[in-house]
C-alpha cells in the first residue's frame, strides 16, 4: 500500500505539472486568461486530485468496502 501511495503521489505531481505547463504555454503564446478563470481551473485540478486520493485511500481504510454497505 505504501508503494502504491508514493506512485500515486508521483502521478499527481506529474498531473499538476502538466496543468501548470499548459497555462504557461498559453501565456507564452499570448493567450492571457482572466485571473478568475485560472483560479477556477486550479480549483477543478485540486478537486480532481482530492477525488483521486480519496478513491485510492478510502477503500484500503474501509477494508475494501464502506461501512454499512454490502
Residue-wise pLDDT for 18-67, tens only, equals 999 999 999 999 998 999 999 999 999 999 989 888 888 777 665 555 55
pTM, to two decimals: 0.72
* Inside any domain, residue 66: no
> Which of 55, 62, 70 has its CA nearest to residue 4?
55
pLDDT at 5: 80
Number of structural domains found in the chain: 1
Q: What 3-state class would DSSP assign to 11?
A: helix
Rounded to whole angstroms, how far apart are CA atoms 33 and 47?
Answer: 20
Query: What is the domain extent for residue 44?
Result: 8-61
* Inside any domain, residue 18: yes
Q: What 3-state class would DSSP assign to 52?
A: helix
* Inside any domain, residue 50: yes
User: Per the structure block, which three cell numbers stand in for 55?
Assistant: 478513491
* Inside any domain, residue 3: no
Asked whether residue 14 carries a pLDDT value surpassing 60, the answer given is: yes
Amino acid at each position: 500500500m505504501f508503494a502504491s501511495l508514493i506512485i500515486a503521489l508521483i502521478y499527481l505531481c506529474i498531473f499538476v505539472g502538466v496543468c501548470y505547463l499548459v497555462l504557461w504555454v498559453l501565456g507564452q503564446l499570448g493567450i492571457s486568461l482572466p485571473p478568475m478563470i485560472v483560479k477556477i481551473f486550479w480549483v477543478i485540478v485540486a478537486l480532481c486530485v482530492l477525488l483521486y486520493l480519496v478513491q485510492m485511500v478510502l477503500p484500503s481504510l474501509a477494508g475494501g468496502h464502506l461501512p454499512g454497505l454490502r
